[in-house]
């Protein structure tokens, strides 16, 4: 891990900044080169507690001026592999597949992370730590060039895949080539596409280069969502499609567990990977990840009955959770994060079919395509009511006007939200949408929309609240609810998923997965020749589901990927956010918690270490009980 303690290079770098020997820009670049997280850099530069993440029971704040932190592993002394018995996880959105580079739902990233691993992990404060690499590349250790164009990873010796084959640099290079191959329609292609070349220097050394300096050099290999490494010997075979089809349900990884059985949309059972590199880990002999049900019953199973150890993503009304917590079997944990519950808008026509696909990128939605309609939609959401009644309130899950929320250095000061039904109705009237009975019309087009989301009581109540306001304005609204296992399943043939987006509106949560949120903001980027737009030609795995097209946004996105001055990059991210908000390309509702989960009293809380930049099971090799 990078040395960032008070006597280490980060401390000396900070001293040089205070002494005026280096500029703020030089400080930022060199700190990034040391592997220091952006929240820590922002904290130091702003002399403010920028990245604090308060929690009801545990809350990860930043380390004081970059003080060194290790991967949480409290209470591991004296523990033996497998002596913990069965770890029982409830994930009410059950996983569908276990191949993260073609997945679109957090539920699938979670389930895959127990098996597949990245080169680097993020601590909850955003600081990088090594995982399959021996150290975080820095200028000081020779792993990162001063111009931020070349990165060299040294890999840990002796790491094996679960089937006993050695893990080598060839696997890392193969993963890159697999992701950028259009035939695989990888959702990670946009993240890896900025890499110019990658080569295996020797079996334990990987070198990659960028065409231009890249302050976000760590993004492809940092974190479980984007950084999962695939085994070359399993997938680089004659029948490549057949091999990956098998991998979808039974991946071979380097992680602490391997799959014993998997029933998609139901349950995954994992057992210890006997070839895992740390002899005393993992502590639990088996992991039972049970899907299905709903968030409230998942919370009950941990907090009230004690039947499970952990329940993920408790999107449940606060009064219900408070009552369940009285059961005394576990704790509810809520921490501020970068997640945003949002309403996405479909700019293409979801009702017109072109070449075997609806919402074809070159069509225009006759209703949503009108800015006045989008402005009216934006005025129909009482965000404060939704925050207070359905979420954890202003302290933990506040209303927001920004899609880029939770990273204070990148929070736009230029936006605001308003709930105003009368104003929305007037905007529509002025734009020519006049009342015809109970519904407005313009040029023969009825003001009719479909509004879809996953099945969850909080989301259905949010839909109902917003529908009420829209109908007062003169909209005709059809609410649609889709099982989460279908809604967040990225299969090419699934027309009800968020990728196809065959509705006018859809609502869900997403979050920034890296401290520099390029991969997050790619969701509205068109890309050369529209390659990032979800469409039939890329199996609907392009990241721009709403088919939003804006030349200024695309130009900023291309530029921010090359910007090495983080202060300037922050300004560019704010401008990108403002373009989306001004054009009502998305309607942010709630800045949701990093996660709101329940944990059994007997588990060591610190080792769970939930982070915005990692999926929640990233540290499962270190999960232990207190006794």
In the chain, the domains with their CATH numbers are 1-68 (no CATH), 336-594 (3.10.105.10)
Examine the pLDDT at 4 and tell me if it is beyond 60. no
Q: pLDDT digit string (tens) for 403-458?
A: 999 888 889 999 999 999 999 999 999 999 999 999 999 999 999 999 999 999 99
pLDDT at 55: 37
- The structure's pTM equals 0.78
| Residue recorded with tokens 């250790």 | 141
Residue 179 in 3-state DSSP? helix
Tokens 């030609």 label which residue?
537
Who's near 28: CB < 8 A, 6+ residues apart? 41, 45, 565, 566, 567
| DSSP 3-state percent helix, strand, coil across the chain (nearest 5) | 30, 20, 50
Beta-carbon contacts of 142 under 8 Å, excluding residues fewer than 6 positions away, are 152
- Decide: residue 115, CB within 10 A, 0-12 exposed, 13-18 middle, 19+ buried: buried
* Parallel/antiparallel/unpaired status of strands 586-600 and 330-345: antiparallel
DSSP 72: -
* Mean pLDDT score, 262-266: 95
61 has a pLDDT exceeding 50? no
Paired strand residues for 151: 144, 208
At 530, list the tokens: 């529209």
Sheet holding 445-446, edge to edge: 434-436, 439-442, 445-446
CB atoms within 10 A of CB 207: 17
Give me the phi and psi of 131, to 5 degrees please. Answer: -130, -80
pLDDT in tens, 20-47: 777 766 676 667 666 665 555 654 554 3
Closest CA to 488 of 103, 2, 7: 103
pLDDT category of residue 8 using cuts at 50, 70 and 90: low
* Pairwise CA distance, residues 458 & 273, whole Å: 38
Instruction: Name 311's bridge partners.
Output: 90, 598
Closest CA to 625 of 605, 610, 596, 611: 605
107: closest CA among 422, 373, 497, 588?
Answer: 497
Question: How crowded is residue 239: how many other Cβ atoms within 10 Å of its Cβ?
Answer: 9
List the end-to-end C-alpha distance of the chain, in Å, as a whole number: 29
Each residue's pLDDT tens digit, 482-512: 998 899 988 889 999 999 999 999 999 998 8
Measure the CA–CA gap between 405 and 164, rounded to whole angstroms: 43
Q: Which two tokens stand for residue 105?
A: 């739902």
């Amino acid at each position: 891990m990078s040395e960032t303690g008070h006597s280490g290079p980060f401390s000396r770098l900070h001293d040089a900044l205070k002494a005026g020997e280096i500029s703020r820009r030089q400080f930022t670049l060199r700190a990034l080169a040391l592997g220091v997280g952006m929240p820590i850099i922002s904290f130091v530069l702003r002399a403010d507690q920028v990245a604090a993440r308060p929690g009801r029971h545990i809350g990860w704040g930043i380390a004081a001026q970059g003080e060194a932190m290790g991967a949480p592993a409290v209470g591991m002394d004296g523990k033996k592999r497998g002596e913990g018995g069965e770890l029982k996880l409830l994930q009410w959105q059950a996983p569908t597949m276990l191949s993260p580079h073609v997945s679109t739902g957090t539920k699938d990233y979670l389930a895959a992370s127990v098996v597949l691993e990245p080169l680097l992990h993020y601590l909850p404060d955003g600081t990088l730590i090594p995982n399959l690499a021996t150290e975080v590349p820095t200028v000081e250790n020779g792993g990162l060039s001063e111009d931020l164009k070349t990165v060299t990873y040294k890999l840990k010796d002796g790491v094996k895949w679960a089937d006993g084959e050695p893990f080598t640099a060839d696997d890392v290079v193969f993963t890159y080539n697999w992701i950028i191959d259009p035939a695989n329609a990888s959702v990670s292609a946009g993240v890896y596409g900025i890499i110019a070349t990658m080569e295996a220097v020797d079996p334990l050394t990987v070198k990659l280069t960028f065409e231009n300096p890249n302050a976000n050099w760590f993004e492809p290999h940092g974190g479980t969502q984007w950084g999962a490494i695939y085994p070359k010997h399993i997938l680089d075979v004659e029948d490549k499609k057949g091999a990956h089809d098998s991998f979808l349900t039974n991946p071979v990884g380097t992680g602490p567990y391997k799959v014993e059985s998997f029933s998609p949309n139901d349950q995954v059972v994992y057992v210890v990977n006997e070839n895992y590199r740390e002899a005393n880990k993992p502590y639990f002999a088996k992991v039972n990840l049970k899907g299905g049900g709903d968030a409230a019953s998942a919370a009950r199973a941990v907090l009230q009955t004690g039947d499970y150890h952990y329940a993920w993503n408790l999107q449940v009304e606060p009064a219900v959770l408070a009552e369940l917590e009285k059961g005394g079997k576990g704790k509810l944990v809520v921490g501020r994060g970068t997640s945003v519950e949002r309403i996405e808008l479909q700019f293409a026509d979801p009702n017109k079919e072109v070449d075997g696909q609806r919402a074809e990128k070159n069509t225009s939605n006759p209703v949503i395509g009108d800015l006045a309609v989008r402005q009216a939609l934006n005025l129909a959401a009482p965000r404060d009511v939704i925050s207070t009644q359905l979420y954890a309130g202003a302290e933990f899950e506040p209303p927001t006007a920004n899609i880029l929320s939770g990273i204070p250095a990148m929070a736009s000061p230029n936006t605001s939200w308003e709930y105003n039904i009368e104003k929305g109705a007037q905007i529509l009237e002025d734009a020519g949408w006049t009342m015809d009975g109970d519904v407005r019309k313009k040029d023969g087009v009825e003001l009719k929309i479909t509004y879809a989301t996953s099945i969850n009581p909080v989301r259905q109540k949010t839909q109902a609240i917003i529908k009420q306001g829209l109908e007062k304005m003169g909209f005709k609204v059809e609410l649609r609810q889709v099982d989460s296992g279908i809604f967040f399943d990225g299969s090419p043939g699934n027309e009800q998923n968020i990728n196809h987006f065959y509705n006018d509106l859809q609502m869900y949560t997403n979050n920034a997965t890296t401290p520099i949120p390029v991969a997050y903001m790619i969701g509205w980027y068109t890309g050369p020749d529209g390659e990032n737009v979800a469409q039939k030609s890329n199996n609907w795995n392009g990241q721009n589901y709403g088919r939003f097209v804006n030349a200024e946004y695309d130009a900023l996105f291309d530029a921010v990927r090359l910007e090495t001055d983080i202060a300037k990059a922050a300004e560019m991210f704010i401008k990108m956010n403002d373009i989306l908000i001004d054009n009502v390309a998305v309607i942010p509702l709630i800045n949701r918690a990093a996660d709101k989960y329940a944990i059994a009293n007997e588990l060591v809380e610190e080792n769970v270490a939930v982070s915005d930049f990692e999926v929640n099971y990233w540290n499962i090799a270190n999960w232990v009980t207190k006794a």
